[in-house]
Structures are given as structure tokens and as C-alpha cells.
Amino acid sequence: MARKRNPRPNNDRPDKPTLPSSATNVLARACEESRRRMKVVKTTRTPGGQIIDWVPIESQVAKGKIATPPPTPKTMREVADSNHRAALFEMSGANIERGPAGTVPLLRRDFSHLTERGEGRVRERKRKVDGRRLTPHPSRPPFAAPDPFGYYHATSSEYATCYGCQATLNVWAPTCEFSGDHSISQFGIQNYDNPKLESLEAGWEVSRDQYNDDQPHLFTYYTTNGYDTDADNQGGYNRDFAGWVQYDANIFPGALINGVSIPGGVQDVIMIKFQLWQGNWWFQVQGIWLGYYPASLFQGKAKSGTTLGDHGSWVAFWGEVYSSLTDPTGTTTDMGSGRFAEEGWTRAAFQSNTLVQSDRQGTMVDSNGGTSAEDSTYYDIENHMKSGSSWGSYFWFGGPGYQPPRWTLPLIPGEVVRIIIGGADGTLITIDASGHIHIIPQPGPDPYDLFRSGQRQRQELARG
């Protein structure tokens, strides 16, 4: 079961990296400059505290011509078990304040909470997901991917020429150890025709730094330059920077998801889909087309038939944890529900009916990916491709991160056992002859620091 902890600001810890105090200001200024180029006619705040800018839908694109979404199939594959429900979004409520008719909502990222707690000291999170590192290709030499330090994945992936993907994800609220960490369930499509990979990603995410809460949010992300730079028409989350074109008047990238799955009970799910249609990558949630990324973002000056503007080369479905610890091997941030894949239905996170669009006409086939995980003792995955059941291809995934080893002490009847934790001045634990446990705290370092210190010592012993 996911452990409930209060995420600590990273600057509380001496082993955190330090950056110039302007690090957050640079990102905040860039986002604000991008926002000023929008034609905002009204700004509202949701009950959950999110700031929404409302813009005329046609103002998002040149000449005001918004693309037409793909037709929605009359029938859509869905989780068949009755013990699940479609997750709702905060803006779906009838009494939520909205903008004028003809406007659409765009989430404004709020940096005030980061400034208040001195976020400038924190290492800025940066996405680094390279499918070539996660999925070895049988006919190519190993690829030297960019350093993915701080990231853990549990991935089902395959190399395939594709034009979209779809999945049903159960939603959880995993506990993140620090405010700079994140935990994600998502899918993504990448293309490697250019020297710099191009990527489209979407799913749900828990990230206090991104959203200023500990709840799951819908997210999208794109990069045209191998994750080098987030900027207008180059890459970024949600609508932090230009690129995304909003179509729906209610649900938007970054929206708060109301309700999460219950361990042993009802499972809240979202069905999400990317589809390349008439020159745009459309994104769908719960059967609703939210908006799109113009394929021209990726095409640039590349020749026709190449880049993510034309097709994907790799498609994957995965869970992800980012740890902001300088030594991420000590992370206890949850992936998914915080439980391992083997616990299965109503306990572990899952993605079901994972589908890949195999042609430009919209044909969907069951995914057939292989699995990978950096360390299955932290987070693991159990794959069931082409299961033949109503779930099609699916997998369980997740885990609690680093777990201290459990020690068993030999007890001799009638004897007293004494344990000192934290050195000569540490806490004294005594188990008397009757089996009663007595704990005598001693003055000294903070117990949390002692725990982390012992954690690192045990890791070194295990590696030796």
C-alpha cells in the first residue's frame, strides 16, 4: 500500500544539489513570456487552485483555422470488469467558472509556491526518455543514450512504424518522497530519423513542483530536439510553452483528476489516445478530443516521409519515477500504487487494452512489446501481450522504490537483547526476558538523517 508522507522541500536536505537562485526564475520568465503572446480574455481559478487562461479558440493558430478532429469510433474497447469507473476531471462540473463562449481553457503554471520555499536551490527536473536505451534493437549496436540519471522506468515497448496508440490506465495518487520527484503512468511515441529524437507523451502524473499538490493530473509532453530545450514550438509540458492547440472547452492538459483507485476496491481509469490525422497529432481522453500538436512542429526542413511529423518509429507504455536525490538509489517514491506488479488486480497499477495504430487509416492492433526495468527490486512489470481476453494486451507495474533489508535477530528465552541505532549516542532498543520492547531515545542527530545514513551504508555493503 502506498505510504503517506509529507513531501519535503528539497532544500531541507544537505545532500541535495544547489543551483543558482535564478534557475526557477529563468523558467518562470520563459513561461510568462510565452503566455503574454496569447490572447487571454479571462483568467479564472478552479476550486483546486489551478489558474486557467481562457483564449478564443481561433487565436491559437495562424489565420484562425482550427483543425477538424478524427471521427470517433462508435465502439471503443474498454476495461470489462464492473469494478471500475471512468475518472472525472475537475472542470467537468457544471458550476465551475468558465470563460466566454468560443474560448478554451489553457493551464497557467503557477511558480509562486516554488519561490516561497526557495526552489532556486533545487535541481530542475528535465525529461530524458530514450526508447533506444529502454528497448535494445536486435539488428543494431547498443546505443549510448543521454544520461538518464534519476529516472526509473517499468516499460512495455516495441519498435514499430506507427501512427498512434491507445491505452486504459488505472489512476493512483503515489507518494513522492520529495517535492522535486514525480511519478507517472503514460505512453509515448518517438521517432529517430533526425540526429535529435522527437517524442510525444501523455498520461497521468503526480508532481508537486509541476502542480503544487499531491494529486494525479492529466499531462502531455512533446520534444522536437531530444529534450535539450523546452520553449515555444520546441517542447514542454502541457501548455507551458506554445505547441499544443486546445480544442475542448472542459478538459485540458494539466487538469486535476478527481478520484483515484482504491486498494482492494473500485478502480478509477482514464482511456487516452494519440492519433495522427490530417497533419496533426490529436489527443483523446475518455472519448473526447482535447486538442492536438501540429505535425509541422516536428517536420521542420526534413524531407517528406520522415520525422515524427510523418510517423513514429517506437511506441511504449510505461510507469516512471524521477528522484531528485543526488543518489537516486535511495528513493522511496512510489510508482503506480506503490505495490509491485505481482499483486495484480485492485492492488497494482495497470495499463490495459494497449493498442498501436498500424496505418494511416486508423487500424488499431494489440501492442506486442517486450519489458524492461532499471531495477526490478525497486519497480517491476508483468507483461501479458495479446492475452486473448477483453483486456487485450495489458501489464501490471509499480513498486515502492528502495526498501531497507529486514533483519531477524536470534532470540534466546530468558536473555535480554540490546540494540543501539545510530552509533554510541543513538537510540537504545531493549528487548527484555519477557519479550517487551523498550525504546530509549538519546540526544543526537535527526532520526530521519540517521535512517538515510544507515540506508547509504547498507547500500555500500550490498554493493561490496
Overall domain count for the chain: 2
Question: What's the mean pLDDT in 17-31?
Answer: 64
Strands (E), 278-407: 280-285, 288-294, 312-322, 349-357, 364-366, 370-373, 380-384, 394-398
Which of 346, 367, 398 terminates a domain? The answer is 398
Residues 352, 385 contacting (CB under 8 angstroms): no
What residue numbers bound the domain in which 424 lies? 417-463
Question: Residue 55 has which C-alpha cell?
Answer: 483564449
* Same domain, yes or no: 323 and 457: no
Question: Does pLDDT of 67 surpass 60?
Answer: yes
Whether 353 maps to a domain, the answer reads yes
* In the predicted structure, residue 147 carries a pLDDT above the cut 70: no
User: Tens digit of pLDDT for each residue in 194-244?
Assistant: 999 999 999 999 999 999 999 999 999 999 999 999 999 999 999 999 999
Least confident segment among 158-167, 297-306, 318-327, 388-397:
297-306
pLDDT score for 137: 74
- Do both 423 and 351 map to the same domain? no
Between 442 and 364, the more confident residue is 364
374 and 429 co-located in one domain:
no
Point out the least confidently predicted range of 329-338, 387-396, 434-443, 448-457: 448-457
Q: Which residue, among 32, 281, 236, 253, has the nearest Cα to 127 in the 3D structure?
A: 236
Same domain, 447 and 329: no
Residue 406: inside a domain:
no
pLDDT for 361: 94
At 141, is the pLDDT very low, low, confident or very high (cuts 50, 70, 90)?
Answer: low
Residue 350 lies in a domain: yes
Query: 302-311, 363-372, 417-426, 451-460 — which one is most confidently predicted on average?
Result: 363-372
Specify whether 380 is located in the same domain as 455: no
Q: How many angstroms separate the first and last alpha carbons of the chain?
A: 31
* Residue 322 and residue 457 share a domain: no
Domain termination site, one of 398, 425, 455: 398
The pLDDT, as a whole number, for residue 28 is 87
Whether 352 and 428 map to the same domain: the answer is: no
Determine the pLDDT at residue 95: 85
> How many Cβ atoms are within 10 Å of 11's Cβ, its own excluded?
17
Above 50 in pLDDT, residue 146? no
Q: For the purposes of burial, counting CB atoms within 10 Å of the CB of 348, is it exposed (0-12), middle (13-18) or buried (19 or more)?
A: buried
234-271 pLDDT, tens per residue? 999 999 999 999 999 999 999 999 989 999 999 999 99
Band (pLDDT 50/70/90 cuts) for residue 156 is very high
Q: Which of 168-172, 309-313, 441-445 has the lowest mean pLDDT?
A: 441-445
* Residue 277 counted as domain residue: yes
Rounded to an integer, the average pLDDT of 289-297 is 97
pLDDT of residue 149: 75
Q: Is residue 411 part of a domain?
A: no
pLDDT at residue 130, as a whole number: 87
Q: 430 in a domain, yes or no?
A: yes
319 and 181 together in one domain: yes
Reply yes or no on whether the pLDDT at 444 is more than 70. no
Asked if the model's pLDDT at residue 451 lies above 50, the reply is no
431 and 326 co-located in one domain = no
Q: Residue 128: pLDDT band by 50, 70, 90 thresholds?
A: confident
Using pLDDT thresholds of 50, 70 and 90, give the confidence band for residue 90.
very high
CA separation, residue 234 to residues 131, 241, 276, 371 (Å): 19, 8, 19, 30
Among candidates 380, 288, 13, which has minimal Cα distance to 177? 13
17 falls in which pLDDT band (50, 70, 90)?
A: very low
Residue 155: predicted pLDDT: 96
Regarding whether 327 and 433 lie in a shared domain, the answer is no
The pLDDT mean for the chain works out to: 84
pLDDT of residue 118: 47
Which position has the higher pLDDT, 118 or 274? 274
Domain stop point among 355, 371, 398: 398
Mean pLDDT of all residues in 32-55: 95
Q: Within this chain, do residues 177 and 93 fall inside the same structural domain, yes or no?
A: yes
Residue 392 lies in a domain: yes
Query: Cα angle at 393 between 387 and 395, to 5 degrees?
Result: 100
308-361 pLDDT, tens digit each? 999 999 999 999 999 999 889 999 999 999 999 999 999 999 999 999 999 999
Is 402 or 78 the better-scoring residue by pLDDT?
A: 402
Interatomic CA distance for residues 81 and 98, integer angstroms: 35
Sole residue written with cell 551504508: 457
CB of 411 within 8 A of CB of 431? yes
Say yes or no to pLDDT of 64 above 50: yes
383, 455: one domain: no
The answer as to whether 143 is a domain residue is: yes
